[in-house]
Each structure stands twice: as structure tokens, then as C-alpha cells.
Copies of this chain bind each other. A is one copy, B any other.
Amino acid sequence: MCGIFGIYNHPEASNLVYLGLYALQHRGQESAGIVSSDNRQLHHYRQMGLVSEVFTKDILKRLPGKSAIGHVRYSTAGSSELKNAQPFVVDYYKGSLAIAHNGNLTNAFLIKGELESKGSIFQSNMDTEVIVHLIARSKEKSTLERTVHALKQLEGAYSLVIMTENELIVARDPFGFRPLVLGQLKDAPVVASETCAFDLIGAKFVREIEPGEILLINGEGIKSFKPFPHKQPHQCVFEFIYFARPDSFIFKRNVYEVRKSFGAQLAREAPVKVDMVVPIPDSGFPATLGFSAESKIPLELGMIRNHYIGRTFIEPEQRIRHFGVKIKLNPVKELLKDKKIVTVDDSIVRATTSRKINKMFRNAGAKEVHVRISSPPITHPCFFGIDTPKRSELIASYHKVKEIQKFINASSLHYLSLEGLKKCVREDAESFCYACFTGDYPTPFQMDLD
């Protein structure tokens, strides 16, 4: 998964991109990069690491100009190396070009092969590099036309921002898999993956970029284009379930409220008689609140998070049981002793963490530990940008709910039903992608699902 941000026509462009990326850090912690334009040339800096580690005042000073774009990355396509950090910057016959891309192109591999056979060389193994090659090879006249020409050849998910020396081009694929929002900071248009990036810099949220929409931002203002045939949108429901920040507004809804409604629906679908509802810090919190409110079972902070998790860690040689989880979480024994509890988490992927957490609850004295999951079982991998593992590692692919319950040692286990999920998403239910729960992918493609 990745986060992107762009701004046009602001004297502090690269500083503001820095802040925007900071607010989008949850979308990718592997690498960060910013490219700025001073109208004559592009300046860029990328490194592995968090935004606050990668950039310093001095580095930002070396990124002058009034427009800039940025990217935070968690690898979904391309391995974790500096060469795969974005924005990607190149020179071609029309000048320079930088691109920041969130999403996954499903036919990138095929096109890369074709391009190589025509003599193209590739320096990264990102699908994003394919977009740039297609733009460079296009014979269309303007950068906008070349970009459209390139995107028409591509399938899959992309929310992206392209910068040349003097314009920004912003695009969201026709299915609208990933979010992309437009804002305004005084005279400067801004785009970002989520609205939380606008809040930090004090920009006003204007509207979402629509699926299949392309914006051209330059000295003459913002122009909107819809060059693709219309398609039924397939917005990623997992952004609601887990990925986006709860304070963001995307896909026409506030994430926190949607997430809370999942918990409430879950309480209706799978009630349980227990002493307390315990949230798993921090991702499961909004759904837990919804569950507690609907079920009238009191919420208790039975599991405490350590605020100071450092990067590297030294484990003693005599292995401490469940160490990886223990370093982050600690149960409140006095509270849990002899109690029946239910925990609400957003999803189960491999189930190993869930197993460890339940063990900790039981060791702390809990008599019953019921588990509720605020999304349906994940049975299929995502090819559009969410970093789920391959099918064979998804526990729900090959195991029934009862088996998973046994594996994680839960007193009971219930998932939110697909119908329940759709109900919460409401009138827009049909404009979302549920492929990770159903296997009904919106585009056909050749990939090893195993």
C-alpha cells in the first residue's frame, strides 16, 4: 500500500508535501520521497525509512520550487529496495517527469515484456516504471494526451499524480480502487490519498477525484477529463475496514463512522453474554466501540499498548513466550481475572497474532475469550494494492470458522457477514470491491492465485 500527495503553486511546496506525507505515514512505512519543480527542472530525494527520518530541514531546502509531489511506500509490487522508492523520476524527449503511484497494475508484467522487446531498459521492478515508459513512447502531443494514451493500455488500480516542470496530472483508474481527494490551500490545489493530509496543513477538502477522472493542473487552473469508458466502480472496502485513517473522509463517508457501524452490525449478528468488550489496540478500536454501544456490554481497556516501541529489538536468548506480541501489549490482570470477555478485531489474516493475544488473555485469568471480527473471512488475495499474503497463507482460504476458532483458542468466533458489511456501506454497496472475500475480481487476469 502507498500514500501520495501533490501540491501546485505554493511557495512552500516541498515543506507541505513533507507534512502531507507525515499524515499519510500509515499508508506506507518503508520508503519516502519528494520531488519538487522550480519551473525549470525537477529536484528529488528518496530514502528508505519513515518520513521523519528521511527528511531534514537541509534536505527540504534542496527541494525548491512551487510545485511538488511525494510518496510513502509499503511494497506490494517490487521488492523492498531503494530503487523501488517513489516518486520515480526520468528524463525523456519532452523533458522531465516524476510520478507517484498508489495501486497495482495487473498487466504491468506483460507490457514490460513488450517494452523490453522494443529496447526499453528497466531500473526498478515497480509496475510504476511501466507507466513512464508508455508515456515516453507515446507520440501524442501534450503530456496529458500522452498520459491518457499510456493509461488506456493499463489495467488494474492506480491513483496517481504526475509532475512535469510546470504542471500536475492527477488520475484515478476507472474502477476507483484506491481513494484520491482534491483540496485547496489558498491559491494552491492539493491532492492526497486521504483527507487527513489536508487537515494537518490546513487545506480545505473540495471533493473526491472520481473513478476514471483525470485532472490537469497548471497555470490556467484545474481542468477535468473523463477519457475512459464508464465502468462500475470497485472501491476497496478494505480501506474502510482497516487501511485508511479513521479521521479521513473517503468514498463519500467518514471512516470512523463506517468502521463503528461494522462493530454494531456484528453485535446484532453475533451477540454474546460476557462481562466486558476489550479492544485490541489500536486498529480494532472503532469497531469495538460500535459493538459495545450496540450490545450494551461495557468497554474495558483490558489490553494496554506500550507507547515506546523502537525499531530494533534485542530478545533474550532464553526465549520469552509470545515475545513479539508481549513487547507491544500487556493485559491488565486485575481486570481480567475470572471474567468472560469478547474482543473485536478488524480482520484475521494468518491468525498467529490472534492466537498469541488470546493466550495472553487466558494467562491473565480470563475465563472465556470470545472473538468477533468486523469483516468477512479473507479467502482471496488482493491484486489491487492491499498487501495480503498469497492464498495459501490466508487461514480462511483453507479452514472453516470452527477450525480457526480452535486454532486461536477462542471460546467462540464470528465474522461479520458479507451482507452485514454491505448493509453498513449502504446505498453505495454495489460500488465496492469485495474480491478478497469472494474471489470475484473485477478484471480477468492471468496470475498465480496460490
Interface residues, chain A, CB within 8 Å of chain B?
Answer: 12, 15-16, 18-19, 22-23, 25-26, 29, 50-53, 55-57, 60, 89-93, 97, 113, 116-123, 125, 132-133, 136-138, 196, 199-202, 245-247, 249, 254, 256-257, 282, 285-286, 289, 293, 298-301, 304, 306-314, 316-318, 320-321, 326-327, 330-335
Contacts and interface: CB of A to CB of B under 8 A. Distances in A.
Contacts of A332: 246-247, 254, 256-257
Contacts of A60: 314
Contacts of A97: 121
B307 A26 contact: yes
Contact of A57 (B307, B314, B330): B314
Contacts of A289: 299-301
Q: Lowest 3 A-B CB distances belong to which pairs?
A: A52-B310, A119-B137, A93-B116
A308 B122 contact: no
Contacts of A282: 307
B306 A12 contact: no
Contacts of A138: 119
Nearest to A113: B93
A2 to B, nearest CB: 15
Given A12-B316, A91-B123, 13 more contacts: A22-B306, A29-B308, A51-B308, A52-B309, A90-B122, A118-B119, A121-B132, A199-B330, A254-B335, A257-B335, A286-B301, A289-B301, A293-B298
Given A200-B326, A334-B249, A55 B92 contact: no
B301 A12 contact: no
A300 B22 CA distance: 25
B335 A89 contact: no
A423 to B, nearest CB: 19
Contacts of A318: 12
A28 to B, nearest CB: 11
A375 to B, nearest CB: 19
A196 B113 contact: no
A321 B51 contact: no
Contacts of A119: 92-93, 118, 120, 133, 136-138
Contacts of A333: 247, 249, 254
Given A25-B308, A119-B133, A285 B301 contact: yes
A90 B327 contact: no
Contact of A321 (B125, B202, B245, B309): B202
B308 A50 contact: yes
Contacts of A53: 310
A23 B329 CA distance: 10
5 contacts: A12-B316, A52-B311, A247-B331, A256-B304, A256-B332
A99 to B, nearest CB: 11
A332 B23 CA distance: 14
A301 B199 CA distance: 17
B196 A320 contact: no
A155 B282 CA distance: 43
The interface centre, meaning the residue of A97, A121, A309 with most chain B CB atoms within 10 A of its CB, is A121
A117 B314 CA distance: 41
Contacts of A26: 307-308
B308 A15 contact: no
Nearest to A286: B301
Given A116-B91, A132-B121, A52 B254 contact: no
A282 B332 CA distance: 16
A317 B121 contact: no
Contacts of A307: 25-26, 282
A326 B196 CA distance: 11
A136 B133 CA distance: 14
Nearest to A139: B119
B246 A304 contact: yes
